[in-house]
């Protein structure tokens, strides 16, 4: 790696070390206080929240059982899907459409609405040529905020289930949602959008700006009519969407090239800041967890597992891409780093950023449920492509999306405690709560939902002739696996060579996104409700400590075993076979 890459990584680590503990404590204060108790900046936010509660008829003092909490979230999501679907279908007749974008097709709108409401932000279309400014601002960007907030409040409800005793109440979904939006996501996004604008990220309401090209020679010398004489440079509210795209681990970009577009990610500074924004809230939630359960040692264990997995997969992707393409090396192509080139496998990479920055970004975006990209993952080497694909298949728990990543690692921790209890012949306990058959049934539902959605639809796509990929062989299978791994984990990134705008893919991927979102969140809330009703049991000499390095290795081992047993056969026929064929 070049010295610039080391400086970028160092800056990223310093930024996270300086801000994650601060934000984690702040969020603990926001969520730790009951709706009628004091919290940070009440003088600013209380009047606004009070007005919202009054207009919406929300009783801030009334808490909900886990099933009511879940129904509130489902009802909110259903209404959001309907509204966003209508906006996509009718955008041709709505204002703030300077480029005259027509309405999106029915199945395309179905896919897009589900994608943004589930925090997946999978985009089968090119944003700058398919979506109007109004749909982006009041549709997609609004969902970037509320879908992220919905994920954050669910893990807060689960943590309350762990800390409370003798009740099934987990808080109030509507109060938690409003607080998350006003006190966390909106202030952070406003500040980050201003920073991006200062670096050149577009923010306006204009349409395309037409510029004359420097080279106006015909594409085909035999046909002078093929000359490209002008370029359409898209305008629009990109910086505001870019900010919440990264902070909310959404990933849906204003531009088709996403964070590889120079108007979305202009330079090396914005690139590292966008990676920082992706990781900020998920890592801060671990600090919040430790404070809320009143045991910071528990947070350190889970944080160590998250960071360890993140560093491993980011490192594999970075070094695989820096080593270059073996096929080019065999014919004498120089892929080394030098003063005139960044080196490595530069296919599908931005020359402004290089292979190392691409690998680092891919680790952050697939270790969370973000899906933003600053390069084309389909152009990775087989090992480089395997890293982000398998990173998603772990369940996106390193550190995971805003809220749902913490939720995933807690579910894995419960499973690890249960397995350890079986080994020593004791009823397992986690943070003073007995983990019994009822919780394990829900944990099983949680763990099986994602692989079922991924492997079922991927297998059908391979078998059906109407859903055949553009490429055959091992790489074609890798494309199918990656794309359904993305939707089944609410990620949104893609092996972009595969065409997914067909009726088959827009439908099956829409269903996959729904399963990934709600077949995991509902069991997690049920676990929270079950644990909240249980009495706290005192620790004894036979209680397995869950704050030690041994437990961290146990959690990591459970993650590896689940992913290995589930996905290794498919990976062996995809990226692993492709690598061996070199």
User: What would the pLDDT profile of 291-339 be if each residue is shown by its tens digit?
Assistant: 999 999 999 999 999 999 999 999 999 999 998 888 787 788 878 777 7
Question: Could you give the C-alpha distances from 395 to 282, 454, 523, in angstroms and in order?
Answer: 14, 11, 15
Return the pLDDT at 485.
Answer: 94
The dihedral of CA 432, 433, 434, 439: what is its sign? negative
Residue 314's alpha-carbon distances to 81, 280, 362, 365, in angstroms, are 34, 16, 7, 10
Strand partners, 219: none
Overall size of the chain counted in residues: 582
Asked whether residue 422 carries a pLDDT value surpassing 90, the answer given is no
Instruction: Please determine, for residue 450, whether its predicted confidence score (pLDDT) is greater than 90.
Output: yes
Give the rounded distance of the alpha carbon of 524 from its chain centre: 18
Q: Tell me the mean pLDDT in the region 537-564.
A: 90
What's the average model confidence in pLDDT over 231-238?
Answer: 89
**Band of residue 415 on the pLDDT scale cut at 50, 70, 90:** very high
Closest CA to 479 of 547, 404, 408, 573: 573
pLDDT for position 34: 54
How far is Cα 174 from Cα 494, in angstroms, rounded to an integer?
A: 33
- DSSP label of 137: I
Answer yes or no: is pLDDT of 35 > 90: no
Q: In what helix (H) or strand (E) does residue 304 lie, and over which residues does it extend?
A: helix 296-322
With bands split at pLDDT 50, 70 and 90, how would you rate the model's confidence at 383? very high
pLDDT for residue 213: 85
Backbone angles phi, psi at 294, to 5 degrees: 60, 35
Residue in the block written with tokens 């920055």: 357
């Amino acid at each position: 790696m070049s010295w610039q890459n080391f400086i970028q990584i160092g800056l990223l680590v310093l930024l996270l070390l300086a801000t994650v503990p601060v934000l984690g404590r702040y969020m603990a204060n926001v969520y730790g206080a009951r709706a009628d108790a004091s919290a940070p900046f009440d003088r600013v936010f209380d009047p606004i929240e009070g007005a919202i509660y009054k207009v919406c008829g929300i009783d801030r003092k009334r808490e909900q059982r886990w099933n009511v909490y879940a129904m509130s979230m489902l009802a909110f999501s259903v209404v959001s899907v309907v509204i966003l679907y209508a906006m996509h279908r009718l955008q041709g007749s709505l204002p703030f459409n300077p480029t005259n974008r027509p309405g999106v097709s029915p199945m395309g709108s179905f896919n897009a609405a589900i994608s943004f409401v589930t925090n997946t932000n999978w985009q089968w279309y090119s944003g700058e040529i398919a979506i109007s400014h109004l749909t982006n601002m009041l549709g997609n960007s609004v969902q970037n905020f509320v879908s992220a907030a919905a994920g954050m409040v669910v893990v807060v409800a689960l943590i309350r289930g762990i800390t409370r005793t003798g009740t099934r109440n987990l808080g109030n979904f509507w109060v938690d949602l409003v607080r998350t939006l006003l006190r966390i996501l909106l202030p952070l996004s406003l500040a980050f959008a201003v920073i991006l604008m200062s670096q050149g990220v577009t923010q306006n309401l204009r349409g395309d700006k037409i510029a004359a090209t420097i080279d106006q020679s015909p594409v085909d010398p035999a046909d002078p009519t093929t000359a490209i004489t002008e370029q359409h440079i898209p305008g629009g509210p990109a910086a505001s969407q870019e900010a919440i795209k990264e902070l909310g681990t959404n990933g849906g970009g204003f531009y088709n090239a996403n964070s590889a577009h120079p108007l979305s990610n202009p330079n090396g500074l914005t690139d590292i800041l966008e990676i920082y924004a992706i990781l900020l809230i998920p890592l801060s939630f671990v600090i919040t967890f430790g404070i809320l359960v009143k045991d910071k040692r528990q947070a350190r264990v889970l944080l160590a597992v998250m960071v360890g997995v993140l560093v491993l997969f980011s490192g594999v992707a970075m070094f695989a891409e820096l080593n270059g393409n073996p096929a080019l090396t065999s014919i004498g192509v120089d892929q080394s780093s030098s003063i005139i080139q960044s080196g490595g496998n530069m296919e599908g990479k931005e020359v402004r950023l290089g292979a190392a920055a691409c690998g680092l970004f891919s680790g952050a975006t697939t270790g969370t449920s973000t899906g933003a990209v600053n390069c084309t993952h389909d152009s990775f080497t087989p090992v480089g492509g395997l890293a982000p694909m398998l990173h998603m298949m772990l369940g996106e728990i390193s550190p995971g999306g805003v809220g749902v990543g913490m939720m995933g690692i807690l579910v894995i921790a419960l499973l690890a405690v249960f397995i350890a209890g079986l080994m020593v012949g004791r009823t397992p306990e986690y943070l003073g709560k007995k983990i019994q058959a009822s919780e394990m049934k829900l944990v099983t539902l949680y763990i099986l939902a994602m692989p079922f959605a991924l492997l079922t639809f991927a297998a059908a796509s391979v078998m059906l002739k109407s859903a055949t990929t553009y490429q055959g062989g091992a790489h074609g299978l890798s494309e199918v696996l990656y794309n359904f791994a993305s939707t089944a984990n609410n990620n949104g990134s893609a092996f972009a060579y595969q065409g997914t705008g067909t009726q088959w893919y827009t439908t099956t991927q829409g269903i996959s996104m729904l399963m990934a979102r709600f077949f995991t969140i509902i069991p997690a809330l049920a676990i929270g409700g079950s644990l909240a009703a249980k009495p706290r049991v005192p620790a004894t000499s036979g209680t397995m400590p869950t704050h030690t390095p041994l437990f961290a290795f146990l959690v990591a081992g459970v993650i590896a075993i689940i992913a290995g047993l589930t996905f290794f056969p498919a990976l062996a026929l995809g990226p692993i076979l492709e690598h061996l064929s070199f």
